[in-house]
């Protein structure tokens, strides 16, 4: 059996994008006069598509595209760079590459922005394909992105999702794909387990051990 194709989420899994996301969300919410000083509450925006998150915080459905445009007016030139790689991620990706794991990115961040982030941090070369949302919103949810990625995945590479939120678990489950959750991101570990995550791990080192150990996703 070939090694699993590892489908990595980006925000909250490979990089900590919270500062930039939250700063841009605050700009958009202030435009609508919506209270937005509780940055802890705004962590909700790291992971789900913006078009899902803004209505949750009171943006009218018919003005969601306006909110997205305001968000991106700051995110594209500034917020995208208010970001950092989680400690241990480069070493994890290097070790997995050395062991022959094919690796992909499946993110609900727009694909062009995901490529820019990974290129900036020198991580782009670890991945066979970086798949994300499109700017117009026709491919927006994690389920949409995973469907798009699976169309490009070679046969014989059983996929395994790795992410930090319930959206990763549910998006992968729609295609019968298991998910391993990580605790260093922005999701609720217990929520991920209830949704069906096979494990939720504490550190990148734990993830490497899980994937390369006898009960993980290495070659059989």
Q: Locate the domains of the chain by residue range.
A: 5-16+83-212, 18-81
pLDDT at 215: 55
Contact (Cβ atoms closer than 8 angstroms) between residue 3 and residue 102: yes
Percent of the chain's residues with pLDDT above 70: 96
Helix residue ranges per DSSP H, 57-185: 64-75, 89-98, 111-120, 142-150, 166-173
Based on the number of CB atoms within 10 Å of its own CB, is 167 exposed (0-12), middle (13-18) or buried (19 or more)?
buried
Q: Which of 45-49, 86-90, 109-113, 207-211 shows the lowest mean pLDDT across its residues?
A: 45-49
pLDDT confidence bin for 135, thresholds 50/70/90: confident
**Could you give the residue numbers annotated as active site?**
9
Average pLDDT for 44-73: 94
Q: Domain 18-81 maps to which CATH number in 1.10.150.240, 2.60.40.420, 1.10.260.40, 3.90.79.10?
A: 1.10.150.240
Average pLDDT for 80-103: 97
Q: In what order do the strands lie in the sheet with 129-133?
A: 129-133, 103-110, 5-8, 159-163, 179-182, 199-201
Average pLDDT for 55-60: 96
Q: Rounded distance, CA 59 to CA 61, Å?
A: 6
Q: Rounded distance, CA 165 to CA 13, Å?
A: 9
pLDDT confidence bin for 220, thresholds 50/70/90: very low
CA distances from 13 to 53, 58, 107, 160, 200 (A): 19, 27, 10, 14, 12
CA angle 161, 163, 166 (to 5 degrees): 100
Q: Which of 5-14, 15-24, 132-141, 193-202 shows the lowest mean pLDDT across its residues?
A: 132-141
pLDDT at 35: 94
Question: Where do we find the tokens 């990115």?
Answer: 105
Q: Rounded distance, CA 76 to CA 80, Å?
A: 6
pLDDT at 216: 53
The verdict on domain 5-16+83-212 having CATH code 3.40.50.150 is no
155 has pLDDT over 90: no
pLDDT tens-digit map of 185-208: 999 999 999 999 999 999 999 999
pLDDT at 45: 94
Q: Which residues of 128-145 are buried (b: 16+ CB within 10 A; e: fewer)?
A: ebbbbbeeebebbbbbbb
pLDDT confidence bin for 219, thresholds 50/70/90: very low
pLDDT at 97: 97
pLDDT at 67: 98
Structure tokens at 95: 């070790």
């Amino acid at each position: 059996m070939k090694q699993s194709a590892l489908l990595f989420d980006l925000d909250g899994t490979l990089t900590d994008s919270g500062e930039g996301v939250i700063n841009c969300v605050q700009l958009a919410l202030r435009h609508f006069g919506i209270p937005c000083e509780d940055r802890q509450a705004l962590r909700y925006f790291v992971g789900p598509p913006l078009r899902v998150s803004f209505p949750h915080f009171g943006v009218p459905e018919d003005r969601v595209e306006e909110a997205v445009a305001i968000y991106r007016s700051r995110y594209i030139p500034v917020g995208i760079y208010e970001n950092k790689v989680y400690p241990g991620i480069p070493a994890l990706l290097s070790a997995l590459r050395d062991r022959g794991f094919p690796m992909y990115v499946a993110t609900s961040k727009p694909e062009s922005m995901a490529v820019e982030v990974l290129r900036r941090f020198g991580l782009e070369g670890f991945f066979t394909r970086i798949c994300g949302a499109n700017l117009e919103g026709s491919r927006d949810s994690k389920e949409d992105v995973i469907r798009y990625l699976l169309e490009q995945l070679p046969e014989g590479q059983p996929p395994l999702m790795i992410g930090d939120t319930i959206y990763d678990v549910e998006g992968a489950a729609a295609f019968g794909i298991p998910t391993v959750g990580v605790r260093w991101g922005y999701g609720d570990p217990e929520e991920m387990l209830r949704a069906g995550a096979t494990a939720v791990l504490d550190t990148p080192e734990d993830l490497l051990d899980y994937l390369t150990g006898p009960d993980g996703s290495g070659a059989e």
